[in-house]
Amino acid sequence: MTYSLKDYLILASSSIALFIVSWFGMFGDEQENITAGWLILKGLVPYKDFFFHHAPLPFFIAGLAEFLSPGNGLIVSRMVLYLLHVLSWFLILFLTHKNLRPSVYAYMLSVGILSPIFHLHMLLADTIIVQSLAITLFVIISWLLYKSPSIEVVIKVFLVAAYFSILSSLASVFMYLVIAVSLAYKQIHDFGALKTVLKVKKEAGWMLVLTCVFPLYFFVNAALADFY
């Protein structure tokens, strides 16, 4: 899928609006994530040396922000989230059918303008969940209605989005479980169980490897030893 002039205009408008509003407000969880990122850079291990009741991915994003510019974790983490928003918009436009453009435009402009109301410009689990879910739903709807992109691309997008979302908040497990069951039912109904397994085997394999990164990190550091 190529980008049209209107795509670029909406992208620019949404990006400018989001950039302008990205410096407003504060939310407690964002400060917690930035503190956790700073502690990780000091060599501390989450859930072992300090404890916050959230999933770990935002901690490490904040740690990356603090590493890139020590003492400016808030500014850099918001810029990281800003770039993730823009990247997700590019991906949605690239992967979905042109007939979905009005809905995609409405989503982009809504995020760009209304971010401060919903705290979507901040380093929060909710922000990453919204980005991941938007990409997942737009791609699935495009595939269901217009058979574009291919099911292989849909599965890749689903797995990556689920990975980022669940590692940001375990509360999103149920949501992605429902989507996974729905996708599996649709594929099995259309092509049978064996062909469905063959289609997802490769993607499921590398996703399993990726999923092991955080458990391995916490196991090596005995981070969860006190939990059992």
For residues 60-83, average pLDDT: 91
- The residue that leads in pLDDT, 218 or 1, is 218
- The residue that leads in pLDDT, 166 or 198, is 166
pLDDT at 212 over 80: no
**Chain centre to alpha carbon of residue 74:** 19
Q: Work out the mean pLDDT of the chain and round it to a whole number.
A: 88
pLDDT value for 227: 54
Find the length of the chain: 228
Interacting residues of 108 by C-beta distance below 8 A, sequence separation 6+: 10, 11, 14, 89
pLDDT at 228 over 60: no
For residues 7-34, average pLDDT: 91
Q: Name the most confidently modeled range: 151-165, 177-191, 193-207.
A: 151-165
The lowest-confidence range among 16-30, 65-79, 111-125, 197-211 is: 197-211
Question: DSSP 3-state assignment of 164?
Answer: helix
- The residue that leads in pLDDT, 149 or 200, is 149
Interacting residues of 9 by C-beta distance below 8 A, sequence separation 6+: none
Q: Are 91 and 202 in contact (CB under 8 A)?
A: no
pLDDT value for 144: 93
Residue extents of the structural domains in the chain: 5-227
- The residue that leads in pLDDT, 160 or 1, is 160
Give the number of other Cβ atoms within 10 Å of residue 128's Cβ.
25
Six-digit token string for 57: 């991915």
For residues 18-44, average pLDDT: 90
Q: Are 33 and 56 in contact (CB under 8 A)?
A: no
Using alpha carbons only, what angle is made at residue 87 by residues 83 and 91, rounded to the nearest 5 degrees?
Answer: 170
- For 92-137, write each residue's pLDDT tens digit: 999 999 999 999 999 999 999 999 888 999 999 999 999 999 999 9
pLDDT value for 225: 66
Give the number of other Cβ atoms within 10 Å of residue 190's Cβ.
10
Instruction: To the nearest 10°, report the CA torsion of 10, 15, 17, 20.
Output: -160
pLDDT at 61 over 90: yes
Distance CA 59, CA 92 (A): 26
pLDDT at 153 over 60: yes
The lowest-confidence range among 110-124, 153-167, 181-195 is: 181-195
